[in-house]
């Protein structure tokens, strides 16, 4: 998986869909999805700038419309479910699956990171702000939800 930063100058100034929100400031979810598109061999990789330019992928507030992922990735990567709160078992199962992956909502619903691997009661994650591996709970204080995706 490519470790990416939403602040990379290649895409940091790109607008999310038809909004005035930029990848660099508000594109954590977009950057997480981009990283995951590089994880599986059959999924076409799309960098955060490419994703941001797809106006159908975002609502008017710049939030990703999860159901649109299957269209964007031609059925090779799609949204399975969104879980509110921290469900350790579901997160661990999503990380362990050969064709599944998880994005964690952290910091009181204000940020998204890619779940990487379990570490005791915590999870390693890749933070799209800087593209670095960190511990989710230790760094962000809490996990308030998760989005689960699958690849064909």
Distance of CA 141 to the CA centre of its chain: 18
| Cβ atoms < 10 Å from Cβ of 1 | 13
- pLDDT tens string 40-92: 988 999 999 999 999 999 999 999 999 999 999 999 999 999 999 999 999 99
pLDDT band at 146 (very low <50, low <70, confident <90, very high): very high
Residue 16 vs residues 104, 113, 117: alpha-carbon distances, Å: 20, 18, 29
pTM comes to: 0.97
CA atoms of 89 and 63, how far apart (whole Å): 26
List the domain boundaries for the chain: 23-151
Residue 39 scores a pLDDT above 90: yes
Find out if CATH 2.10.109.10 is the number for domain 23-151. Answer: no
Cα 8 from Cα 20, distance rounded (Å)? 18
């Amino acid at each position: 998986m490519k470790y990416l930063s939403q602040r990379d100058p290649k895409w940091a100034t790109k607008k999310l869909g038809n909004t005035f929100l930029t990848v660099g400031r508000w594109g954590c979810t977009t950057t997480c999805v981009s990283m995951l598109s590089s994880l599986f061999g059959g999924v076409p990789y799309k960098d955060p700038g490419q994703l941001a330019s797809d106006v159908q992928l975002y609502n008017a507030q710049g939030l990703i419309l999860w159901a649109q992922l299957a269209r964007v990735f031609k059925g090779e990567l799609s949204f399975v479910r969104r879980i509110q709160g921290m469900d350790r078992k579901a997160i661990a199962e999503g990380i362990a699956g050969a064709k599944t992956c998880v994005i964690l909502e952290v910091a009181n619903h204000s940020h998204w990171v890619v779940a990487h691997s379990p570490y005791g009661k915590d999870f390693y994650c890749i933070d799209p702000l800087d593209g670095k591996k960190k511990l989710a709970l230790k760094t962000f204080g809490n996990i308030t939800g998760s989005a689960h995706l699958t690849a064909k």
